[in-house]
Amino acid sequence: MTKGPRPLPETLHPRTRAVHGGTRRSQYGEVSEAIYLTQGFVYDSAEAAEARFIESGPDEFIYARYGNPTVRMFEDRMAQLEGTEDAFATASGMAAVNGALTAMLRAGDHVVSAKALFGSCLYILEEILTRFGVEVTFVDGTDLDQWRKAIRPETRAVFFESLSNPTLEVIDIRGVSDLAHAVGAFVVVDNVFATPVLQRSADLGADVVVYSATKHIDGQGRCLGGVICASRDFIRKVAEPYLKHTGGSLSPFNAWVMLKSLETMDLRVRAQAETAQKVAEAMQGAAGLARVIYPGLADHPQHDLNAAQMQGGGTMMALELDGGKEAAFRFLNALRIVLISNNLGDAKSIITHPATTTHQRLSEDQRKVLGITPGLLRLSIGLEDAGDIVADLKGALAAV
């Protein structure tokens, strides 16, 4: 195998990088990326083994928990897409969120986080970090004043999702980053809802961008995976030592699935977002619907901010039904195409009732603060025909 990827021109569009970025070819010159389904690597001599444990080069591997050629291709491709120097792939999105935060934090540190978060992210910030002496302050992520008041000299990191799960709040990435950087804090953004196609958070000030690759990156609901994108220093000196010793590494097979998916991610996500815009417009004002929350609609509270930092409204929306949980359940049970499940970013449109599933763990008060009402449904738009999705949603509304 030739060492390292084939050099690419500097100026390539992300779409081209998503097809060619990071590819390594063996002595056989295969077109499609090889799966190196091996946990270990053989050394030419005892001296070579010793030398590699002292310092391994960028394309020298020791053990798949530390790194693997197929995983390395995925990491390299993701770093190129995100515009960061490096990346580390993880077994799931939560391994990426936990890895990025736990690797850098220690007792006595302070973290400021938006409160509108995916349930498991909230668990890490509320339950795990605090158990180890990290103080966490939660703010309304859409209110820059609250960030300004909460960030203080010992703040080591800020964390948020933009867009947020499931209520699609938009956070001013540049504004929060400027406040955090003024005290030397790291900006960690969970960019899952926005996708690497539609929003480059690192360009807007984020130092560390984390993904659940399970969502739009795979995009076809097959594999769990995650990735942390950041500077080479952060990845190699902070994230890698933590992750390689604690066991959250991505499997080579899953990395290969993700590599194949990245080739079509741009096409998929743009098509899904275009359909989402049509569906949101078609559902606005429908009888029985209190609200359609979609950043691409002019009535979204942060519509203008979203237009400035993201291309379009994305692939996710929330529908709030009149009539609470009972109406929401009747609506779900009447759907014939859209699936009741809790993945997102899939080729198949998927709908979730957050109050009884992903955010069930929260108290009713917490849910109210986050806008997760009994009538709220989170809808992930897939690759089906827009007219068929609208007909399915309207048919279910009629059944309510």
Ligand X SMILES: *Cc1c(COP(=O)(O)O)cnc(C)c1O
User: Which residues are near ligand X by CB under 6 A?
Assistant: 92-94, 97, 118, 120-121, 161, 165, 190, 192-193, 212, 214-215, 224, 226
Please state the closest distance from residue 269 (CB atom) to ligand X, in A. Answer: 15
**Nearer Cβ to ligand X (158/397):** 158
Least separation, in Å, of the C-beta of 126 and ligand X?
A: 15
Query: Alpha-carbon distance 16 to 277, whole Å?
Result: 26
Pair of tokens at residue 60? 């020298």
User: Which CB sits closer to ligand X, 17 or 215?
Assistant: 215
DSSP structure string for 257-308: HHHHHHHHHHHHHHHHHHHHHHHHHHHTT-TTEEEEE-TTSTTSTTHHHHHH
Asked if 82 and 129 count as a contact pair (C-beta separation under 8 A), the reply is no
Nearer to ligand X, 165 or 272 (CB): 165
Crossing angle of helices 69-82/252-283, nearest 10°?
Answer: 30
Q: What is the closest distance, in whole angstroms, from the C-beta atom of residue 132 to ligand X in the complex?
A: 20
Residue number closest to ligand X, CB atom: 93
Tell me the closest approach of the beta carbon of residue 166 to ligand X, in angstroms. 9
Q: At closest approach, how far in Å is the CB of 165 from ligand X?
A: 4
Residue 266 and residue 274: Cα distance in Å, rounded?
12
Residue number with CB closer to ligand X (106 or 260) = 260
Between 289 and 318, whose beta carbon lies closer to ligand X? 318
74: amino acid identity, one letter = F
Copy the structure tokens of residue 146: 């609250």
CB–CB of 234/208 below 8 Å?
yes
Nearer to ligand X, 110 or 215 (CB): 215
Instruction: Give one word for 285, left, alpha or beta, with left for phi > 0 and alpha for psi -120 to 50.
Output: left
Q: How far is the CB of 93 from ligand X (least distance, A)?
A: 2
- Smallest separation (angstroms) from ligand X to the CB of 106: 23
Distance between CA atoms of residues 238 and 207, nearest Å: 13
Query: Quick one: residue 377, left, alpha or beta (phi over 0 = left, psi -120 to 50 = alpha)?
Result: beta
Q: Rounded to 5 degrees, what are φ and ψ at 316?
A: -115, 145
Q: 205, 198, 218, 230: which is closest to 101 by C-alpha?
A: 230
Pick between residue 226 and residue 374 the one whose CB is nearest to ligand X.
226
Task: Indicate the residue type of 147.
Answer: W
- What the block records as the tokens of 142 is 């859409």
Nearer to ligand X by Cβ, of 92 and 220: the residue is: 92
Q: How far is the CB of 53 from ligand X (least distance, A)?
A: 31
